[in-house]
Every structure is written in C-alpha cells, then in structure tokens.
C-alpha cells in the first residue's frame, strides 16, 4: 500500500512504476513510455485528461512524420558542425529546434517572446591571480569590439566568467501543449573564447531570424489576408499578446469546470487568437 502501491498506466494499461509515472488530471497516471510519445516540450501534464494525452500523442506522430517527410529546411542555424540548433523552413514560416531528439515544428508567429539567458559567476581571488589561460578572453568579452558585434545581447560583467548561455523561447497557444523551450548554446563543459563567441554568434543569428520571419508572416497576413492562418500579428510585442492568452486560459478553466462546451470553447478560442 501507499508509496509502493502498483499503479497502471491509464492509457496503455502497462505498469506505471513509481519513478517513471506521471500524474494526470483526475489523479491517475500515465507511464514513461506513453509520456515519451508526446512532445518533449509538453508542459502541465498534471492538467491533461487521458483524451488530451491521446490527442497530443497523435499530433506528435503526425509532426514527426511531417518533419521526416516534408519539412523543407532551407536554413540551419548552428553553433558548429556538430551542434545544429534551429532548422528553418523559410517558405512556410516554420522552425524546429534540432537539439531535440524528435524536433517539434512551430510557426514563427507562435513565438510570444524570447530571451538570451547568460549565467556568469564572479572570479575567485585565485582565478583573478592566474588569468594566464583566459585573460585574453575576459578582455575580449568586455571590449567594445565584442559589444558592437552582438548588439542587444547580455554581456559578461567585469570580474566574472561566463558559465552558461541558453536561448529561451516562450510560445503561445500550440498543439504540442508546449510553453517554453530552453536551448543550451554552450554545450561543452568548458567555455573557451571560441565557444563563447560561437554561442553569441548563434544567439544573434536566431534573434535576427526570429524577427525577420515574424515580420514576414505579419506582413503576409496583414497584406492580402492570404498565406498563413493563425497569425495574431507577429509584429506585436509579447505584452500585447498576453491578453488573449490569459483569456483563453480562463476559458479553459470554464471548460474544465463544465461551464462551457468543447464547441463553445473552440469557437471562442479561435476568435480570441484570430485563428
């Protein structure tokens, strides 16, 4: 009983072991195998019903088929030959993060905002003394040359070293039930001058690519109304977009409470998100 009680996966009926199971809506569980069939970016599993898990698995299967068969990557943003980060289908305004084992395909206008998250730590007294190894790197990171090369990106404070850099993408409504992606731009354990430079270069390319593609989608949907559906205006700032999303979240609560039917919810959601 209690902690070691055997549970069954509500989806496949298999064993949902203590360490590999995930609680879903209503207090039941799904097993690790079933969970891994959804997007690796899925969030809020505890709020999902069995039916929603089924839908998410079906959507992910269709996505993986599309990615393998007809996702036309016309551009790849990479750190180096071994680390491809973002694949872009410029024709359809879509992208996939290639560091995921099975990448999810998103549209650029589903990006609400992004952030370059830089982790730094102060140099110890010892490190300050023996800067032989990376005195050049520290000077370089603080130089105007470096700053003007990557305008808008966060900089390393003085007397600190860069330990990590992540690119975070915040997503609006999408069929993967994903809210956020966090991409490691310094994949090695050490951060040398060239690694940090490549990470900055990659982040900078992603920022420009996202802005270009969002603008392109916004212009297309604003221009002749044709082209892409689902654009709520890629040119808007993240703050402008929070309102309809919040409203949809509230509606979702009403749906879960049974105050709205699925049809009413779907109609209202489409209206709010301009789908």
Q: Cα–Cα distance between 203 and 183 in angstroms, integer?
A: 10
Minimum CB distance to Zn ion smaller for 21 or for 214: 21
**Does 171 interact with Zn ion (rule: CB under 5 A)?**
no
**CB of 57 or CB of 169, closer to Zn ion:** 57
The whole-angstrom separation of Cα 47 and Cα 53 is 10
Hey, CA dihedral for 274, 207, 118, 198, is it positive or negative? Answer: positive
Q: Which stretch binds Zn ion (CB under 5 A): 33-41, 169-177, 196-204, 214-222?
A: 33-41
56 vs 96, beta carbon nearer Zn ion: 56
Binder among 21, 22, 29, 31 for Zn ion (CB under 5 A): 31
11 binds Zn ion (CB under 5 A): yes
Binding flag, residue 12, Zn ion (CB under 5 A)? yes
Instruction: Candidates 11-19, 57-65, 71-79, 82-90: pick the segment binding Zn ion (CB under 5 A).
Output: 11-19
Q: How far is the CB of 132 from Zn ion (least distance, A)?
A: 55
- Taking the C-alpha atoms of residue 251 and residue 248, their distance in angstroms, rounded to an integer, is 5
> Are 18 and 24 in contact, with CB atoms under 8 Å apart?
no
Strand order in the sheet with 111-122: 111-122, 160-171, 180-184
Q: Considering the rule CB under 5 A, would residue 53 count as an interface residue with Zn ion?
A: no
Selected from 21, 22, 24, 34, the binder of Zn ion by CB under 5 A is 34
**Total chain residues near Zn ion (CB under 5 A):** 6
Which CB sits closer to Zn ion, 33 or 205?
33
Shortest CB 14 distance to Zn ion, Å: 5
- Give the binding range for Zn ion (CB under 5 A) out of 27-35, 58-66, 118-126, 186-194: 27-35
Which spans of this chain sit near Zn ion (rule: CB under 5 A)? 9, 11-12, 14, 31, 34
């Amino acid at each position: 009983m209690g902690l070691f009680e055997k549970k069954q996966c509500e989806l496949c009926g298999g064993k949902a072991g203590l360490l590999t199971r995930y609680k879903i809506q209503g207090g039941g569980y799904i097993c690790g195998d079933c969970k891994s069939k959804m997007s690796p970016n899925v969030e809020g599993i505890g709020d999902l019903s069995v039916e929603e898990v089924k839908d998410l698995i079906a959507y992910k299967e269709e996505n993986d088929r599309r990615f393998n068969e007809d996702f036309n990557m016309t551009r790849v943003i990479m750190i180096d030959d071994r680390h491809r980060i973002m694949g872009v289908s410029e024709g359809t305004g879509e992208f996939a993060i290639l560091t995921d084992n099975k990448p999810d395909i998103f549209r650029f206008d589903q990006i609400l905002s992004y952030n370059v998250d830089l982790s730094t730590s102060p140099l110890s007294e010892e490190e300050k003394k023996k800067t032989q190894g990376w005195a050049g790197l520290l000077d370089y990171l603080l130089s105007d040359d470096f700053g003007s090369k990557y305008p808008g990106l966060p900089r390393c404070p003085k007397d600190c070293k860069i330990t990590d850099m992540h690119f975070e993408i915040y997503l609006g409504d999408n069929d993967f039930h994903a809210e956020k992606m966090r991409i490691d731009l310094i994949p090695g354990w050490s951060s040398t001058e060239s690694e940090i430079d490549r990470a900055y270069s990659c982040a900078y390319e992603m920022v420009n690519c996202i802005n270009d593609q969002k603008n392109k989608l916004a212009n297309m949907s604003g221009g002749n109304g044709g082209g892409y559906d689902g654009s709520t205006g890629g040119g808007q700032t993240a703050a402008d977009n929070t309102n309809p999303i919040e409203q949809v979240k509230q509606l979702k609560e009403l749906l879960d409470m049974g105050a709205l039917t699925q049809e009413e919810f779907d109609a209202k959601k489409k209206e709010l998100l301009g789908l």
